[in-house]
Structure 1
């Protein structure tokens, strides 16, 4: 199958992995700025953007495909679902990963008694609504990512335009992605990770609660935690300078 990706700049490699239902185009402005000092690779996950769909969208099968596009160790920056992919890459293909950044991401997205996350019934509702009206469901999901931010209207236009910029994933790919979000529990991977790892969270994120940062540090005390003040679920769109600063600080560490 074919994995589509774009490369910006030269230098130490960074791989950007987008979130559920999106594609690599969502990174464009952010990637161009980051590429002033690094080689930035933006990938389309299978079935998203210009990448071919796969029979079954699982973390294992996705990582197998992504492993074929990297030729050296890189920092993997995963947004939302992309964070799960990045952690799985570190476990399955450690030769391709030098460090991991979980951007507005959670190693276990579903909340339980001892872990903050999304209510399981919220993910179930998304899954149910996809079969009724796919586009409207995706637009509602996008609005949750920036809900409550002062620049809501501007960001909403950016997200909606990005969604329509490329072909929409099929209902099956979207359902499979929701299944990953619902079932994947990568806390043990995070706990055992011996690579540099960072979590960069939006203070006002309604999908990945900011208190998840302390929970992640509790299981991996070496985790580098940054909280982007007043940001929501897409800080690379709303708070790009602050996020670039946090990334440069993390990546500059020996």
Structure 2
């Protein structure tokens, strides 16, 4: 294992635009890898510097193991690898990581963007005010399937992510073709990282954040239900948000043009 996570840098192609060399760092979601951002990078690289980083055990960092796969340790590894002030963009589980980075390293995270993410992914039905999220039974099913067939489990997860999208078959095909450029993570890595979706709850920590914060959602997302958006509004009242009306869990795939326009416009205000 190398001492640091591998990152990939994409310098802006627009040499005449003053971006102050502040990069956007993209963090992928559970089960996938940084290749999922390639269509986004192709467009945004015209205007901004970009860095992608695979989570420990995924993609280019498939051999980078963590003895304790905690959110704090993952955030520490990524911050150490990036090593400079940046705007962080995290999708799904990557959104949790980006939020933890903002909490742990406020001097390094200049702004934070979460995509189809939640400070607490697991449904909390026993609370006085129920919290919409992934049902525990769904996560239990994923744990059981991982032990039997890793690739089949990931295929099933891709279908859930695109569920509700008007172009579901094409979205699944696009994501699959992108992420299959890298080897499939081990069952242990997938199980360890899945626990973050099950156990992490950052809701009470969000009030500490004062940085610019953008939240992007798909209205048809089944993993981050639209009912959760209003509750997150209350937790982050000074944040900005945009909801992609006919998108599911991967709006940067299904609504690429709109996604890039919204993200770039917002980011340039904070570069």
Q: Is the 8 A contact 2:92 2:118 kept in 1?
A: yes
Corresponding residue for residue 229 of structure 1? 245
Q: CA deviation at 1:210?
A: 2.0
Q: CA deviation at 1:9?
A: 2.5
Q: Which runs of 5+ in 2 are unaligned?
A: 13-18
What secondary structure is seen at the aligned counterpart in 2 of 1:15?
A: strand
Q: CA deviation at 1:93?
A: 1.7
What TM-score do the two structures reach when normalised by structure 2? 0.90
Q: Map 1:22-171 to 2 at 5 A.
A: 22-51=32-61, 52-113=64-125, 114-171=130-187
Aligned residue among 21, 44, 63 for 2:31: 21
Q: CA deviation at 1:32?
A: 2.0
Please give the alpha-carbon distance, in whole angstroms, between the structure 2 residues aligned to 1:28 and 1:5.
14
Q: CA deviation at 1:235?
A: 0.8
Q: CA deviation at 1:92?
A: 1.3
Count, aligned residues: 254
Mark the structure with the bigger radius of gyration: 2
Please list every run of at least 4 consecutive aligned residues from structure 1 whose deviation after the TM superposition is greater than 3 angstroms: none
Q: CA deviation at 1:18?
A: 0.1
Please give the alpha-carbon distance, in whole angstroms, between the structure 2 residues aligned to 1:162 and 1:22.
9
What secondary structure is seen at the aligned counterpart in 2 of 1:225?
A: strand
Corresponding residue for residue 227 of structure 2? 211
Q: CA deviation at 1:24?
A: 0.7
Q: Is the 8 A contact 2:121 2:133 kept in 1?
A: yes
Please give the alpha-carbon distance, in whole angstroms, between the structure 1 residues aligned to 2:205 and 2:111.
13
What TM-score do the two structures reach when normalised by structure 1? 0.95
Q: Is the 8 A contact 1:13 1:75 kept in 2?
A: yes
Q: Which runs of 5+ in 1 are unaligned?
A: none
Q: CA deviation at 1:3?
A: 1.2
Worse overlay, 203-212 or 192-201: 203-212
Please give the alpha-carbon distance, in whole angstroms, between the structure 2 residues aligned to 1:133 and 1:70.
34
CA offsets, 1:184-234, max 9 Å, x none?
Answer: 001122222111111100111111112322111111210101001201111
Q: CA deviation at 1:115?
A: 1.4
Q: CA deviation at 1:119?
A: 0.7
Please give the alpha-carbon distance, in whole angstroms, between the structure 1 residues aligned to 2:39 and 2:231.
31
Q: CA deviation at 1:164?
A: 2.1
Q: CA deviation at 1:80?
A: 0.2
Is 2:258 the partner of 1:242?
yes
Corresponding residue for residue 9 of structure 2? 7
Q: CA deviation at 1:149?
A: 2.0
Q: Is the 8 A contact 1:108 1:185 kept in 2?
A: yes
Q: CA deviation at 1:37?
A: 1.1
What secondary structure is seen at the aligned counterpart in 1 of 2:60?
A: coil
- Report the aligned-residue RMSD: 1.4
Q: CA deviation at 1:29?
A: 1.3
CA offsets, 1:155-184, max 9 Å, x none?
Answer: 111122233210111111101111110000
